[in-house]
Chains A and B, each alone.
Chain A
Amino acid sequence: MPRCHAGAMAERRSATVELREVTKRYGDTVAVDHLSFTAPAGRITVLIGPSGCGKTTSLRMVNRLIEPTSGQILIDGQNILDEDPTELRRRIGYVIQQVGLFPHRTIGENVATVPKLLAWPEARTRARVDELLSLIGFDAARMRDRYPAQLSGGERQRVGVARAMAAEPPLMLMDEPFGAVDPIVRDRLQNEFLELQRAQGITVIFVTHDIDEAIKLGDRVAIMRAGRLVQFAPPAELLAHPANDFVAQFVGSDRGLKRLALLTVGGAELDPPVDPSRLDGAPVLSPAMTLRDALSEMLVSETQVGMVRDGDRYLGVLTLSHIGRVLRTEDRK
């Protein structure tokens, strides 16, 4: 039974994960308290909260590195507790902050780990390894035979993600995967990962304590506190309508600005075009730009407005009050 189930999942490429009343107790302490949510297929669900809120414990219950005390975890409707834990883990990608590449294996061998465990034919494994190495921006021929110690921190993180994706898992669990690299590298890794995730259509459950990362990557964000789920919503909704003071505080008093990062210039109303000579020094904005970046450019210019251009077309003028209006109308939705 588990075997045919695994086959069906591999073809579908992405899985729906449902937690039902999941509780984990250690003696008298409750680490996770009746947690229920559904991570939709093909999307990134971010678990976030202060340290000790149970986010990592929750994640590790999904691949049974930790066994729940009670409750159910279903992957595509199948209770994972009915499955052999090692079989289950081989179908689920797993990335941790410290990466944990095998120092004694080459990059190619590291990426091939799970395909080897699943006894893929040699040729298929080799093709998949090369495919993934080029997906993460590596020259496969040059990098394949290097050892992890010969790579930079950012490169090792990329290999960690590639290794987790190698056997085409329908689900990936990621525990602060970009937490240990510097901000510039982190930003780049996040962008690359988003692209990769969209292209491969994998369901991801992602743990972080960085609210900006949650907003940037999450299709859904689950805010946890003391083992309980406080709010489960898309990031824009979380910022516009925090469920309570805890969430409001957690997302930060600059949540208005953070929301601007999720909205684009193209979604704002504009004043009709004005002769550019009268807007000397005004920044030129494109519709795809986030309102946050647009605002930043407008504030430092002398005119306080921006000219919106889509290639050669001059669409109009963006003002500060338009930006404010976008936030207020989004609020009412």
Chain B
Amino acid sequence: MTPGEPLIRWDWLGSHAGEIGQRVGEHLELTLIAVAVGFAIAFVLSVLALRVPRLYPPITWTTGILYTIPSLALFALLVPYTGLSLLTAEIGLVSYTLLILIRNIVAGVRGVPAEVREAARGMGYTDRQILWRVELPLALAVIFAGIRVATITTIGLVTVTALIGQGGMGYFILLGIQLFFSTPLIVGALGSVMLAVLADGGLVLVQRALTPWTHAR
């Protein structure tokens, strides 16, 4: 960085406000798609694992492997096939949400007290009704904990996708590094952190609204 240069140049912020807003939107869009698609896939796999318990180990094993691949390596691996595209970014982002989401959905449903399930069955609920009307609602708190972790992780990871031409706030981080210019770097990093904090807070509020029984007194 140039000596004498201030850490943040406020005039740069002012002149780039429009672009910052646009990148924030892009960041949120990448995150939302990743978590939504990830949740849809995780949900199907979880229901499968709950119905056929012996499928659970291979499912967690596979998604666990995906989770351990370094993000940079994964994007590099995908580029020859899917190019520098949104698809490449999302394949990576989605695959990192799966393990956390599946674990929490399965743990949440399995954590439903046995007597609640027994009573539901004894009163004439079908298996499908037990899943949708009893098990999933009661698992909501644990499922939401998973969604929160998946969302925060994804918001952080989105910055890495700047390397393949996506990236939201990651674009500014990359820009800062390339130009030895601290202002966009801080904007990108702080922006990403702030998005994570806000998203997490928002999810907590949604969860509280969806599970009124957990805080009734």
Contact = CB atoms under 8 A, between A and B. Distances in A.
Interface of A: 63, 65, 86-90, 94, 96, 98-105, 113-114, 117, 146-147, 149-150, 160, 163-164, 173
A150 B213 CA distance: 9
A94 B122 CA distance: 6
Contact of B123 (A98, A103, A105, A117): A117
B119 A99 contact: yes
Decide if the interface of chain B is mainly helix, strand, loop or mixed.
Answer: helix
A150 B216 CA distance: 8
Contact of A96 (B118, B138, B211, B217): B118
A147 B121 contact: no
Nearest to B217: A150
A313 B22 CA distance: 96
Interface residues of B, number: 22
Closest 9 CB pairs of A and B: A100-B119, A90-B124, A94-B122, A98-B115, A89-B124, A100-B115, A147-B213, A147-B216, A86-B124
B113 interface: yes
B134 interface: yes
29 contacts: A63-B122, A65-B121, A65-B122, A86-B125, A86-B126, A88-B124, A89-B124, A90-B124, A94-B123, A96-B119, A96-B122, A98-B115, A99-B115, A100-B113, A100-B116, A100-B117, A100-B118, A100-B120, A101-B119, A104-B137, A104-B211, A105-B213, A114-B123, A114-B124, A117-B124, A146-B216, A147-B212, A163-B123, A164-B123
Contacts of B211: 104
Query: Could you say which of B125, B129, B212, B213 has the most chain A C-beta atoms within 10 Å of its C-beta?
Result: B213
A96 B120 CA distance: 11
A149 B120 CA distance: 18
A256 B129 CA distance: 51
**Residue of B124, B125, B129, B138 with most chain A CB atoms under a 10 A cut-off:** B124
Nearest to B129: A117
A94 B138 CA distance: 21
Interface of B: 113, 115-126, 129, 134, 137-138, 211-213, 216-217
A87 B119 contact: no
Question: Quick one: which of A88, A103, A163 has the most chain B CB within 10 A?
Answer: A103
A201 to B, nearest CB: 21
B67 to A, nearest CB: 31
A50 B212 CA distance: 42
Contacts of A146: 216
A78 B117 CA distance: 28
A87 B189 CA distance: 59
B50 to A, nearest CB: 18
Contacts of A117: 123-125, 129
A205 B93 CA distance: 56
Contacts of B213: 103-105, 147, 149
Contact of B120 (A98, A99, A102): A102
Contacts of A101: 116, 119
A164 B122 CA distance: 10
Contacts of A86: 124-126
Contacts of B217: 150
A100 B118 CA distance: 7
Contact of B138 (A104, A147, A149, A173): A104
A65 B123 CA distance: 10
A41 to B, nearest CB: 21
Given A65-B121, A90-B123, A114-B123, 13 more contacts: A86-B126, A89-B122, A89-B124, A94-B122, A96-B115, A96-B122, A98-B115, A100-B113, A100-B118, A101-B116, A102-B134, A113-B123, A147-B213
Contacts of B216: 146-147, 149-150
Contacts of B119: 94, 96, 99-102, 160
B121 A103 contact: no
A103 B116 contact: yes
B108 to A, nearest CB: 12
A164 B211 CA distance: 25
A128 to B, nearest CB: 15
A36 to B, nearest CB: 24
A305 B115 CA distance: 50
A89 B123 CA distance: 5
A63 B129 CA distance: 18
Contacts of B117: 100
Nearest to B122: A94
Nearest to A100: B119
A42 to B, nearest CB: 22
A20 B123 CA distance: 24
A63 B124 CA distance: 9
Nearest to A106: B213
Contacts of B134: 102, 104
Contacts of B118: 65, 96, 100
